[in-house]
A and B are shown apart, each in its own frame.
Chain A
Amino acid sequence: MHYPRKGTFKNPHFTPLIVVTVISSAMITLPVDFRTTVSRVGTLSLLYPFSELDKFLRRVDSTFEVNRQLNRKLDSLAVQVSFLIEDKYENQRLRAMLDFRERTPLSLIPSRAIAISFGYPYKSMLIDVGYEKHVGPNMPVICHGGVIGKTIAAGWRSSTVQLLFDPACKIAVRIQASRAQGILSYAGGNFLTLRDVPIEESVLVGDSVVTSGLGGIFPEGLFVGTVIRTEEKEGGMFLDIWIMPGVDFAALEEVFVISSTMPE
């Protein structure tokens, strides 16, 4: 019979090695059900704080991911809403233009503003129609708010429009109520002026100003603006009339070029 060598179990290194090996081996050879139970109990007791922390961090990770996805969606929706708002305003403008086109007896060529002169006042702008659509120089340009100006140069697919705010732009107009006539020109700021109207003409604030048809470019009766002030000149014989244009030049997008005064 063989016995362990004397002192083997007294070796401070050897005994723990056997103890640890035996315990580990016992754990390995446990029945599966029992191992599962031990694992569950151990996880719920010894590892509970760690597993709970792990679960918490997983939830945080998941929340961050959901938050990131929602933010991405929100950004996408914000862009879509922006486009929808733009579409809504375009829709309103196009409806107004359509209504205007149906009301007027003029033959109109629709076009879009593609550039406007830099800086205030706006002196000219570029539109996207030209000779291709039978647009040439000296053709009136209007929108549903009234007269904008006239074409001064044309290319194949674009034309330059001289706006009413260009000091070189002069239009023959009349006060709709009194029939007083004059030459409209830019007065500075956001205003137009009609100078040297005889004082005996009855002109009231709020009167409409329309094209007179004289001059050969603009047909008669196109709305230009509204009288906002009259000023008696020194000497008491003439009036200067201040007119607010019916068009907001800063917001021009869709316009019409008048090709003839006959309906299509």
Chain B
Amino acid sequence: MTMPILFYFIIWVLVTFLQVVVVPRLAILGVYPDLLTAAVIVLALRSGRLVGLWLGFIFAVSVDLLDPQKLGWMTLLTSLLGYGVGIVRDTIYIENPWFESTMVLIATLIYQLFYRFLPQPGFFLDNFFRMTAESLLIAIYTVAIVGLLIWLTRQKNILRDTA
């Protein structure tokens, strides 16, 4: 791990705060941005599979506690997602905001689909189109916010480097 523990702790507090307090208020017609997953994806892309795995586990386990019916699923899927994105980083990662945004979109969509399918497969299949549409909209909403943040960070870095 290249980043200090304190940094990850602050990120955990921030992500948990966003997911528990802010995200419900950003919902539009039941569609909300999945900032927790997006944070795991971005950090895994920057720091690798091990960091992705552990951050996925730690970030998700706290938020997972809110839903006893699906307890463990978010932890499992987010951890695996962090690990999987880390593998992508080690193989085909390109340092480009468009690549990162595309990764956020695809990984969030995959996560959302699995998070809906695995705990209740029958319900998912009965409502396949609705579930898929919801997952897609959440992924789009997430990438809209996170993509903007990535772009702003990149602009800030460019300005700093220019100065």
Interface of A with B (CB < 8 Å)? 12-13, 16-17, 20-21, 23-30, 32, 35-36, 38-40, 42-43, 46-47, 50-51, 53-54, 57
Contacts and interface: CB of A to CB of B under 8 A. Distances in A.
B71 interface: yes
B20 A51 contact: yes
**Minimum-distance CB pairs A-B, first 4:** A27-B72, A42-B65, A24-B76, A28-B72
A16 B53 contact: yes
B75 interface: yes
Nearest to B82: A20
A32 B69 CA distance: 7
Main secondary structure of the interface of A (DSSP, over half): helix
A35 B56 CA distance: 20
B50 interface: yes
A47 B72 contact: no
Contacts of B64: 27
Nearest to A53: B21
B36 to A, nearest CB: 12
B62 A39 contact: no
Interface in B44-72: 49-50, 53-54, 56-57, 61-69, 71-72
Contacts, number: 85
Given A53-B20, A54-B21, 6 more contacts: A16-B53, A20-B54, A24-B79, A38-B68, A46-B62, A57-B21
Contacts of B63: 47
B94 to A, nearest CB: 22
Interface in B14-45: 16-17, 20-21, 24-25
Given A23-B75, A30-B72, A16 B50 contact: yes
B54 A21 contact: no
A36 to B, nearest CB: 5
A28 B24 CA distance: 24
8 contacts: A12-B50, A13-B83, A16-B50, A16-B54, A20-B53, A47-B20, A51-B20, A53-B20
Contacts of A27: 61, 64, 71-72, 75-76
A26 B16 CA distance: 23
A35 B71 contact: yes
A54 B53 contact: no
Main secondary structure of the interface of B (DSSP, over half): helix
Contacts of B71: 27-28, 30, 35, 38-39
A178 B24 CA distance: 89
B124 interface: no
A47 B59 CA distance: 12
A25 B72 contact: yes
B76 A46 contact: no
A47 B75 contact: no
B57 A24 contact: yes
B106 interface: no
B52 to A, nearest CB: 10
Contacts of B49: 13
B83 A47 contact: no
A23 B76 CA distance: 8
A20 B16 contact: no
Instruction: Report which residue of B25, B49, B61, B68 has the largest number of chain A beta carbons within 10 angstroms of its beta carbon.
Output: B68
B72 A26 contact: yes
Interface in B69-87: 69, 71-73, 75-76, 79-80, 83
Contact of B79 (A12, A21, A50): A21
A215 B62 CA distance: 100
B20 A54 contact: yes
Contacts of A57: 21, 25
Contacts of A54: 20-21, 24
Interface in B117-154: none
A93 B124 CA distance: 74
Contact of A43 (B17, B24, B66, B76): B66
Contacts of B25: 57
